[in-house]
Amino acid sequence: MSDKKTATTEKPNKWTSWDWKTKFFWTEGWGSMALAIFVALFIRWGFFEAYVIPSGSMLPSLLIHDHIFVNKSVYGIRVPFSEDWLMKFSDPKAGDVIVFKYPKDMSTFFIKRVVGLPGDKIYYENGTLFINDQPQEKKVPLSTKDFDWLRDEDFRGDGDPYDGKDNYVQFTEILKDKPHSILLRRGDVYDTFGPVTVPPDSLFVMGDNRNRSADSRYWGFLPMKNILGRASMVWLSCEETLPGIPFLCNPLTIRWKRFFHQVN
């Protein structure tokens, strides 16, 4: 007769799951959970982070309740918990849609479009943006796809219960050869701003909803150190959120066709 050997496995006990020297700790114990949390925080710190669009200042390019991914490494890598650069890869370009810390309250995050780079002369009059004394072309869009997403409710968040979609018109603005959609309010006496020259290490940013955006025309230049990253794509979108939970989409109002929509 041949001897038969039975393989046995040592059952983990409460001490095994806390012993960092064991394989079980790193594969199934508390160490695996710690590693997962570390990886998630590392990705969020240096590469991608999710944000939700809370207002209509970027209509029609970005809708209220669009959930977006922001590329945090496109311009460089920062020192953790700091505005200092660890590595710098590139500078923002005109037309980039960026998320940044609001200069007057660093705990608040804004999203706007870069329209002026250091040294640029910015002037805005009657709905037309001038950069270095050159008017940026504004024309009737070839497609109304961006405008078709809009609802009357999207224009009533500022406290005007009578505002609505019909009060606005969409244009395609050619910003330094890069086209994007903007909104102008019909019949408004358009603001005149400037001229101003963007100082070093700063940007001039504006919302695409030109008459309903608190941007550099009102609170000044954006220091580049405040930039968190560039908006890349919409990964979830909905018309309404769950009652009392403003960051969770109501599944009955999801905008399915905006999934993986690229931010232009």
Catalytic machinery residues: 57, 112
Residues 6+ apart with CB under 8 A from 21: none
Rounded Cα gap, residues 150 and 136, in angstroms: 25
The answer to whether the CB of 20 falls within 8 A of the CB of 32 is no
- What SS3 class is residue 2? coil
The answer to whether the CB of 223 falls within 8 A of the CB of 59 is no
